[in-house]
Amino acid sequence: MPTIRVPASSANLGPGFDVLGMAVDRYLEIDFAEEGVGSEDHLVMKVFRQFGGTGGLDIRCAIPPARGMGFSGACRVGGLVAAAVQKGTSLEECRRWLFLEATELEGHPDNVAPSVFGGVTVAVGDRVEKIPIGLQANVVLWVPDTLSGTKESRGKLPKEVSMEDAVFNMGHTALLIAALTNGDTDLLGDAAQDRLHQEIRLESLPETAAAIEAMRSNGAWCAWLSGSGPTAAALCEPSHAQRLAESLPDSGEVMVGHIDMRGAVYE
């Protein structure tokens, strides 16, 4: 039987606050099942029911919740995919619908866009574009046991920012997109700098700050706070991934993977 598979995501990538997202090869998997299979309290099932889904769902998830890896976005995309394919709609026919509905449910598009489309995405309002990637990379994630809620984390951010900081982030977001597209690994480290959210969030996440610094000091091309945290993420040369992984604090789980280029699938 075909399986629905939705990738995790890492949002912001440093300067691209609420705009950039990257799909990562950790997955939510869903199979159709008989009535009574799958908790009705699960977010996937709630969305599935909301959009007319019937019967049960067998749900397996390797995306840790409340860690900055797009768990809720992937669950909402997964529930929507299940409802769509049960009605006989192909994913290629409805990806834009998936993105728009998941964004409405999630409240922001940066996580749901890569979970729907794969790769690295730019999402602004109801517009989304997939960035061409000009490099081969491993994604290294450091995932601690502590939890971080997006709403609580956003509450720590200032309501206004200086013109200087706004221009800094706009410029570095453009640099980051150019570096990824052109495969300019020398530019990535500088391009991933941020002045809008990371430093404020990392004040309450000292172990994550230490993990990001360890990534930058041990061969990562760039490193950032994944979403609202507490996960730290980095891109690196594949031959350096194991060394980088071994340099990270023992207080978190280390995952070495890749950018998922396909997004949500049913196969």
Instruction: Please tell me the predicted confidence (pLDDT) of residue 35.
Output: 84
In this structure, what CATH number is given to the domain that contains residue 197? 3.30.70.890
Is the same domain home to 91 and 53?
Answer: yes
Q: Of 191, 247, 252, which Cα lies nearest the Cα of 214?
A: 247
42 and 87, same domain (yes or no): yes
Q: Are residues 151 and 211 in the same domain?
A: yes
> What pLDDT score does 87 carry?
96
Identify the pLDDT of residue 102.
98
What is the residue range of 91's domain?
4-131+261-266
Residues of the chain with pLDDT below 70 are 148-155
Alpha helix (H) residue ranges in the chain: 43-50, 71-86, 91-106, 112-117, 150-154, 163-182, 185-191, 198-202, 206-217, 241-246
Q: Determine the pLDDT at residue 128.
A: 97
Q: Are residues 213 and 241 in the same domain?
A: yes
Q: Judge if the upstream peptide bond of residue 64 is cis by omega within 30 degrees of 0.
A: no
Q: What is the pLDDT of residue 165?
A: 96
> Both 48 and 91 in a single domain?
yes
Predicted TM-score (pTM) of this structure: 0.94
Q: Which residue has the tokens 């891109």?
A: 235
User: Is the distance from CB of 259 to CB of 23 less than 8 angstroms?
Assistant: yes
Burial of 215 (0-12, 13-18, 19+ CB in 10 A): buried
CATH number at residue 122: 3.30.230.10
Tokens encoding 90: 């192909």
pLDDT at 149: 58
